Structure 1
């Protein structure tokens, strides 16, 4: 049963919150927390972070005038309570489902989402851009005509981009409010009523006005005295509140305060809203992930992202036992290699459990490095280790490695350093949608000289590719694998076998049609081959294994011995199919009349849904393969489903 929410039921837009007292807002916050728990129990999603910002969400929307005032969440998985308060409550139980609400903020979803945020550490940059645009468009207006508020989690503050933005914002002195949501006490604990009082005092208009007057007066002093006065001001407030680092970056630091106490939050946010002088402000609030839901408070790591669960017990719905996940296979295979080679280390960018490296860390704690949300640093850190003979495996989601592209090119490939890239979440990823889809790595890595690219067709092949990467010392090598379970085809070996670089394999010989798969679409190719054989069209099915170096002998044989050649991949245009096509074109094989059909993800962003439905929409199912082959042959055999999309 949904929880009773008598006050929350009256909220249609955030403006309605302005009609309630502080005591009533506390009740609304409790009802909002209960509604969030119940909704996520039915859909799954990011629970802990959202529960931690309930009071902060209520306070910001009660004090500021959204959507005129811009509110940016970083990362967007904190934003479930925000969605409920901003006119999307009736759809909150469609969260992360096909056709439903996104699990992150999204501009096309609501005017209350001014910036999409599914990758971290972007909010301060985006907020500064909005603030500068406001100042350009309203040169004669008051600086507090429109507020820009960026709420950034302390994890997101580990990324260099956040500090680049703060450095720029501090120099520009545009009016911007950054709320640092410190939910791990990683910077400073709250210090109770005195901290709240001091924060209200130094954020108040009289104090800011007096400080501004004193600053103008100090500028009349000789330069040494002015610098001394400024330092004295910073030192005095630093003693009282901390925040010296942010002050040095040009921000006016306020905090830390209890982010769950509306009696503290409301007057302080009101002060910041009304201020029209001074530099950008950083408000430091301390919150607790999972706040108000005991199971999530007790195990914030397990309730960061959850499956559907029982609200009363907190027990998450577990899928029946199935084949091992690709992530689990990777972790075991890497451990097996590391047990035989003490030069192997593992590096992750704040995703140890997501990439399976938490298991590696248990076995080799001193050979595991979590560098925080800092993908650029992770890659160059690995490159530095590689120069000294260490064998680094950099385990990063495909979508996150995009953030370190220059480092892959300049710091690794250009220097021919043997860094191993394990790209998890390759292809389409289901409920996380387009922002987390690993659609582009084949294309963006395939154009880099010296890079070896592999993709396993199943979990057994993944174990072999981990072994192959461990043995490869002549330059960078990358292998990609999808989210979720393998196929359970056979028992995964305790340790993989090193593959010959650049060699594919043929699984089935046929007639005039050849299907060449790169990655886990191989099983769909085999299903399509069965259906085509039943229609009198026996097919050759091959597993490329490598996109670079390409198995040119295999590609040429398939092209010369078959009338139709279809390539399959779980990646974007300009990927594996393009590499095959380029080779065939340079060899003049197209001149012989080959019907070549590359099948890949469409040139579009695919919304969140189940992976099965996503691949059907992308035109990469067995039925689409059959339709593509029949279309290429110009034959009207059987019933072709929707045409494949390339």
Structure 2
């Protein structure tokens, strides 16, 4: 029996259906409201799973912002959005909060179509300041007087886009409030010089408080701080050698201050709301997972959680029947690195998510986490490759999109042997369309001299890692999905595959299913049904999206009445290249009916992966239906049509 307790009473939270209900609460009551909001967030996520630690770290900030400002007229923009659950509870969505990340439920991120309190959707990091500046400039053009508040984490500040926005905002001088939520964490502990710089600011907190006072902001400070600040002005001018980085970029800087202490947060926000006339950066020190001990003690493990028992913190996880693709990749890479000292691994703030934390334990000097900086990661790998190293760049498909120009200009154009390990290929379930790996086949297969592989199971992934390690003439990529493998027997060592060669998994004579990636098992299941109907079916595993196995594809088209390609990617990928090949060779005019099954031309919303693939018409039922429709047969009795098509082909 579960030890999960009933949620604690929430008398104040029960009175808040939208932020304006908070206006009548005293500061003391707002502190109680924050406590109730934290308990409600913990209880809700214990049911749904999702992002926990980040939201707990901004409870007080969220309460204070909604209490002081007039949302949604004042625009509150959360960076990434995974910390927005408390915000959703306060903005009319509490009654649906236990539908988070479920089919037809609330998104796990901010989403414009979901609520007017979400002015800008976000699920990738470092976009908030750019978007906020756009809102601020738009406001200025329209002559409005609303405020724009951006909440960005210190991890997100490692991305170049955040600095580009700060630089532009400082130059434009528009009224903009940026709250730096500094919890010394993103998903994993932050890396790089910026995190060290923020740590120095925090260590020098008394000096920074006086320095802020010494500037022209003295009269803007809350009354209790004002007199001491005036007395300290002359002293501080002599002590501080220069402005903070943010001030050099044109921002008024306030902080650091305790982001969990409403007695500090509320007066600062009220003052900034009334007095600021340009860009301001407020530096709040918070703790990820604040108020829930399991999350505080293991912030990285409680960034994203499955459902869990509130009392113990124990997460409810299904028993794995096979290793995850992520683990298989990491172990295969470690095995290759044992034999080859030139192999190094690079990730962009996702060591745990990509499995490279395992690699780092074995080869700490050969793994590089560059922070949330995919563009830099790609070009860094290009430099490593040019120097003679063998870099593996492990980035989720959805995040690799952020480094596309670098893939083209810095890697592909120079034919540098960077090996891309593309995790989370295809649909990903609860994270929804923002994290789906839908487009990498389209944007990589168009690049000259690129080798693009897709693993159909975990054993194939091991071989593809070995193949990528062996490639030295040009860039390569291997894509694989989120989740567990299929349970196949694992090879002792990876074997180098012949480049551009697929394999026949099941032989037939009438219908050919050519699969790229992990839809192979669904193809086999559909083939079994087709065989039972008297429609002899071949199933092939393409293995390579580029270069294509031309001999295999031409053979399948010439020897079958129907050829169907199946891939876990958007239109314009593998199937499009197969069609181009067949058109070039004149096969499209010879009677074989060609169909391509891809993700549809729309974003598939969050749900369980199997439900998402059913909606996308990429499950066994849809493959079966496509085969029947292509051949013009609903029943076995219409098989003479197959004979006629074969004669036309010949």
TM-score, normalized by the shorter chain, greater than 0.5: yes
Write the distance in 2 (CA, Å) between the matches of 1:191 and 1:78: 28
Match of 2:11 among 6, 14, 17: 6
Structure 2 runs not aligned, ≥5 long: 1-5, 186-194, 222-232, 638-650
The root-mean-square deviation of aligned C-alpha atoms, in Å, is: 2.2
Change (3 A) 1:246 1:638: farther
1:485 matches 2:484:
yes
8 Å contact 1:241–1:256 — kept in the other structure?
Answer: no
Kindly tell me the number of residue pairs found equivalent between the two proteins.
610
CA distance in 1, matches of 2:329, 2:154: 29
Structure 1 residues 518, 45: CA separation in 2 closer, same or farther (over 3 Å shift)?
Answer: same
Look up the match of 1:249: 249
The residue that corresponds to 1:634 in the other structure is 632
Identify the residue that residue 219 of structure 1 maps to in structure 2.
Answer: none
Are 2:125 and 1:126 aligned? no
C-alpha distance in 2, partners of 1:32/1:101? Answer: 18
> 1:234, CA displacement in angstroms?
13
Query: Cα deviation per residue 1:479-518 (whole Å; 9 max; x = unaligned)?
Result: 100000000021x223210000000000111121000000
Choose which of 110, 119, 132 in structure 1 pairs with 2:115: 110
Deviates more, 1:328-337 or 1:505-514: 505-514
Note the residue ranges of structure 1 that are not aligned, 5 or more in a row: 209-232, 640-646
Paired residue for 1:598, among 596, 599, 602? Answer: 596
Deviation, structure 1 residue 521: 0.4
Q: In the aligned structure 2, how far is the partner of 1:237 from the partner of 1:597?
A: 73
SS at match of 1:264: helix
Change (3 A) 1:87 1:538: same
Please state how far the C-alpha of 1:195 moved relative to its aligned partner.
6.5
Task: Point out the more displaced range, 70-79 or 182-191.
Answer: 182-191
Superposed, 1:1-400 pairs within 5 Å as: 1-138=6-143, 145-184=145-184, 186=195, 187-188=198-199, 189=202, 206-207=219-220, 236=236, 244-277=244-277, 279-400=278-399
Alignment partner, residue 434 of structure 2: 435
Aligned residue number for residue 465 of structure 2: 466
- Encode CA deviations 1:32-52: one digit per residue, 9 max, x unaligned: 000000000001011001000
* Alpha-carbon distance in structure 1 between the residues aligned to 2:333 and 2:147: 49
Go from structure 1 to structure 2 and tell me whether the alpha carbon gap of 1:610 and 1:638 turns closer, same or farther (over 3 Å shift): farther
- CA deviation vs aligned residue, 1:333-373 (integer Å, no higher than 9, x gap): 00000000000000000000000000000000000000000
Q: Secondary structure at the match of 1:29?
A: helix
| Deviation readout 1:599-627 (Å, 9 max, x if unpaired) | 01000001111000000000001111110
Do the aligned partners of 2:396 and 2:437 also contact (CA within 8 Å) in 1? Answer: yes
Measure, in 2, the Cα distance between the counterparts of 1:135 and 1:297. Answer: 41
Give, in whole Å, the separation in 1 of the partners of 2:208 and 2:302: 30
Shift of 1:318: 2.1
Q: Indicate if the aligned counterparts of 1:203 and 1:268 stay in contact, CA closer than 8 A.
A: no
Q: Determine the C-alpha separation between the residues in 1 that align with 2:218 and 2:21.
A: 26
State the Cα distance separating 1:634 from its structure 2 match: 1.1
For the residues of structure 2 that align with 1:156 and 1:548, how far apart are their CA atoms? 34
User: Structure 2 CA distance, aligned partners of 1:309 and 1:128?
Assistant: 39
CA distance, structure 1, for counterparts of residue 408 and residue 598 of structure 2: 25
* Structure 2 CA distance for aligned equivalents of residues 28 and 201 of structure 1: 35
What is the CA distance between 1:321 and its match in structure 2?
3.1
Partners of 1:327 and 1:482 lie apart in 2 by: 8
Distance 1:266 1:254, change over 3 A: same
Could you tell which deviates more after superposition, 629-638 or 601-610?
629-638
Aligned equivalent of 1:214: none
Equivalent residues in 2 for 1:597-616, closer than 5 Å: 597-616=595-614
- 8 Å contact kept, 1:195–1:257: no
What is the TM-score when the length of structure 1 is the normalising length?
A: 0.91
1:543 is the counterpart of 2:541: yes
Query: Displacement, 1:559?
Result: 0.4
2:224 corresponding residue in structure 1: none
Whether the aligned pair in 2 keeps the contact of 1:336 and 1:494 (CA below 8 Å) is no
Secondary structure of 1:430's match? coil
Asked if the contact 2:322/2:487 (under 8 Å) is kept, the reply is: yes
CA contact (8 A) 1:195 1:241 kept: no
Q: Distance in 2 between matches of 1:234 and 1:80?
A: 44
| SS of aligned partner of 1:500 | coil
1:380-402 per-residue CA deviation (whole Å, 9 max, x = no partner) reads 00000101110000000000000
Residue equivalent to 1:569: 567
Q: Measure, in 1, the Cα distance between the counterparts of 2:320 and 2:84.
A: 32
| Mapped pair 1:580 → 2:596 | no
- Aligned residues of 1:37 and 1:47 also touching (Cα < 8 A): yes
